[in-house]
Every structure is written in structure tokens, then in C-alpha cells.
Amino acid sequence: MARHHVPAAVVLVTGVAGSGKSTVARLMADRLGWAQEDADDFHTPANRAKMAAGEPLTDEDRRPWLADVAAWIDRRIAAREPAVLAVSALKRAYRDQLTRGRPEVRLVHLHGSRQLVRSRLMSRHGHFFPAQLLDSQFADLQEPEPDEHACVVDVDQPPEAVADAVIALLGTGTGTGTGTGTGTGTDEALPLAAPTEEPRVPPTASGEQWRLRHGAHEAVVVELGGALRHYEVGGQPLLDGFAADERITGGRGQLLVPWPNRVAGGRYRFGGEDLQLPLTEPENGNAIHGLLRWVPWRLHGRSEDTVTVGTTLFPQPGYPYRLEVSAAYRLGPEGLETTVTTTNAGDTAAPYGVGQHPYLTVGTGLVDTALLTVPAGTRLVTDEHGLPTGEEPVEGTAYDFRTARPIGEERLDTAYTELDRDPAGHCTVRLAHPSGRHGIDVRLVEGIRYVQVYTGDTLPEPGRRRRGVAVEPMSCPADALRSGTALTVLEPGGSHVFRWVLAPWGSW
């Protein structure tokens, strides 16, 4: 296994029970060649008995435990022995006791929704922490504050991907994902340097921010998932995106690789092998939106109006294939073009699909009065889990937007196909202001056979619902890994190109 060059330290992996601390810590230690310990092992028998009985620990219960953990950290630092420690440390005061005065200690926080963590705890056996204590964990949880310089990673992805993301971020030496690496180039363990008085780049929730400009056009691409965060023309936002200090929610601007939308039960069969993906939409029992949304993407190149980012999708449980993926964002006078190129770098064929998830806005506040045009003759009918059960013509239905009309009260989460194309083979979905004087087109240029339109009615944050229309180009529909519908099979060395354009028009 290749040795990763992360500055030698004691890395604390924190989070509530069920967030995967121990698993991620073990994977990190294996990849780094470091020692690994679980802070649960420092609890007294009395503490363990209380938790097993469903009784939360008090601060007084935790005081000797924290002292023992801090002493263990000090021994590691004194011996210059780097290590990874899984520790809950839910309160700021606990973390301060373990980190204050120890510049060698790095903090990693695993973030997950209560629903996801609960589902994991309910399926876990042989551990003394009962699921009914989860509410007390979230009640105690104080998310890391900016001055703690924590590396925060969401856990709605495989543990291997979480570990890789953490290692990549720690390798910057800042925990923010904005550096260029501080490895020594050797396997010698050296302590981290003490903080300097040089100005810091403020940490962001989505890593480094890469800005593109062309005339009045401006866009921002982020390190986390290579996502498109922002696009505006003349100061007018055309995307309902997210701020640099916001976590990405609702799939905003994210790249969906190696499948868009859902896989029922996360189960599929390919190449004579039955495969199981992690269930990242546990409430519906689905795997959703691929495996690369929550990993850092590398900057491959940039100019004033172009940014190219990329990453490697390594073989992992449920997807034992290796892909090299790059995304090129280019601003020009007509708008923003995105090209995703994926190559099979493995030695066996790989199933593949791709999509992207921007939310469009034309400045109407809510989408009800915006004019929508979707030049497609057929929609997919879906069940209560968002999975296709068939197709039907749109003619004569509420889903017919072949002629521009207001969205009104329609609740759309609808995939369209049989796309009408111009002589060049392109299809254009349009969202226009009620005045008809300006709007934005989504041009489906290459490698796209479906488009999903979503009005955001089921977003978890009520304040974000129906603020934008997600127009999602997709190479294949939901559940394509199972059904094979429009699925791309990448042979070794083969590539797939996915290209689409955001093209504003009219007077803004």
C-alpha cells in the first residue's frame, strides 16, 4: 500500500456514536502506517456499565476518562509516534482539554444526519452503546467552531471514501483543503510546526474556491466534489447555489458519478457479480447520486475563464472499478460550459452513468411564476421511493412543458426522455422570467439522454423549497445500474464525455 505523506501528529476523529469514528480511524491508520486507538477503551467499567444501561455519562463521569486520553496523547507526542484516535469529544470543552497547548494534535469531525446515524446504530451489534442514547449525544454535540480549524467531513458515503477525504485534507497542513501539501517526502515522523502569525485563509465548508470570470460572467467551482457553487451575470445570480461557508445540501451543483439519481436497495449485478452499495438515502433504502460528491477534487489547471478539476474513483465495496474523472468548466460569451470526461483506468469493464445537479433561478423568489420549457415527449413514472416503474407520454398530462408555461403549483421531481433535438443533436431546457424578457437555457450537448426536473418540494430545509428549479442532465435514468437502461459500459481504457451548457439570454 502506498504511504501517504501527512504531517506527523495525533489525529482525533470525533463524532457521535454511529458516525463511523472507529472505522474511519482504523482505515486512516492503515493507509498512513500509524498506530490507532479507540478512546472508548479508556472508559472505566463503571462508565461502560452506565452507557450499556442507557444512562448518559455526566461531565463528572468523563473527567478521569478525558485525563487518561490526554495522557495517552502526551505519551505519543513525547515519543514522536503519530497516531489516530477515535474519540467522541462532543463538547467544545472536551476537545479543548485534548487539543489546547498541543499544536501536534489535529481535529477531524465526522458529520452525519440524525436519521443516517440512527439507522447505522440500529443495525450495529456487539457494541455497548445502545441506540436510545443517540438523542443525548446530539443534545451534547457542539459542532467545531472556526477557531478549532477542524477538518469536517460528511459521512453519507463509504467509510473508505471518508478516510481518503480526511487524509487528503490533512495533507494540506491546514485542515481546510486549501494548501498544497506539507509532507516531508520521507517516512520520518516530524511534529507539526507551531502556528505562525501569518494571515490564514478562512476555512470553508466546501474547500478551496476557484473563481472564473469572462466579461460580466462569473462562476465559482469548489474543491469538495468539484461542484459548481455559483454562477452570475452582471451581478444577477442564475443559480440557487450555496455560500462558501455553507454545507452543500440538496445536491446543489454536485457532480453525480458513477451514477445519477438512485439505485434501489443499493444492489445490482454486473459482470456476473452481485454488488452492494452503501445506502446513502436510508429513508428510501436507496444508494443515491454516486460516490464522488463528498471527496476533494484536485485542481488540474486554471486560467481566468477556465478551471479543470479531477479525481480518482478507487475500487471500493459495491463499486470495484477504478475511474479517472475530470471536469472542465469554461466561461465564454454564451455562458458556462461543463465537460466531464471519465476514463476506465482498470482492467475490467465498468458500469457507468453521470449527471449534475444545478438549481436555476430567474429572480422570482419562488419558482411558481417562472416559465418552464422541457422539449421532451416522455416522462418516467416513479414509485414512492423515486424509482422508475414505467414511461408515459407527457401529452395531455400536467407534466407537459413542451410549450413554455408557468410552473404554478406543480410539484416536479420528474425525469424526461425522448428529447427533441436541433440539427446539431442538442436539446434545450429553458427557464424564463414571467416577463419573458430574460432567462437561462440548459443545453444538453453530449452524452445526455435524460433530464430530471425538480422543484425542490421535498428538500429538508423548508426555506430552500421551490426557490430554484433543478434541471439535471443525466446520461441514464434512475436505477440504471440495476435495469441497464441507457447504462454506459466503459471497457478498459475507454472514455465517456458528458457536456452541457448554462446559457443566459435576454436583458438582465
- Phi and psi for 400 in degrees, rounded to 5? -85, 105
Question: Beta-strand (E) ranges in 271-403?
Answer: 273-276, 286-288, 298-302, 306-313, 323-332, 335-344, 350-352, 355-357, 359-360, 371-373, 376-382, 388-393
195-222 pLDDT, tens digit per residue, is 333 333 456 899 999 999 999 999 999 9
User: How long a stretch of residues is the chain?
Assistant: 508
Cell numbers at 334, concatenated: 454564451
Other beta carbons less than 10 A from residue 143's beta carbon: 11
Categorize the per-residue pLDDT at 134 as very low, low, confident or very high, splitting at 50, 70 and 90.
low
Looking at residue 390, its amino acid is G
**Cα–Cα nearest to 153, from 74, 221, 61, 223:** 223
Q: With contact defined as beta carbons under 8 Å apart, do 52 and 62 qualify?
A: no
Report angle CA 415, 420, 423 to the nearest 5 degrees. Answer: 145
pTM of the complete model: 0.63
**Cα–Cα nearest to 238, from 218, 214, 213, 212:** 218
pLDDT at site 43 = 86
Categorize the per-residue pLDDT at 51 as very low, low, confident or very high, splitting at 50, 70 and 90.
confident
* Matching residue, cell 460569451: 333
* Least confident segment among 42-46, 252-256, 417-421: 42-46
Tell me the C-alpha distance between 289 and 286, whole Å.
Answer: 10
Alpha helices in 87-208, H assignment, sequence order: 92-99, 114-122, 134-140, 159-170
- Phi and psi for 56 in degrees, rounded to 5? -65, 150
DSSP state of 319: B
Give the residue, 31 or 369, on which the prediction is more confident: 369
Tell me the C-alpha distance between 240 and 193, whole Å.
Answer: 40
Q: What are the CB-based long-range contacts (under 8 Å, 24+) for 296-301?
A: 296/165, 296/168, 296/169, 296/177, 296/207, 296/223, 296/224, 297/223, 297/224, 297/225, 297/226, 297/327, 299/208, 299/210, 299/223, 300/326
pLDDT at site 123 = 58
Q: Give CA 358 to chain center in angstroms.
A: 14
DSSP state of 56: P
Say what percent of the chain tops pLDDT 90: 68
Categorize the per-residue pLDDT at 143 as very low, low, confident or very high, splitting at 50, 70 and 90.
confident
Q: With contact defined as beta carbons under 8 Å apart, do 209 and 248 qualify?
A: no
241-285 pLDDT, tens digit per residue, is 999 989 999 999 999 999 999 999 999 999 999 999 999 999 999
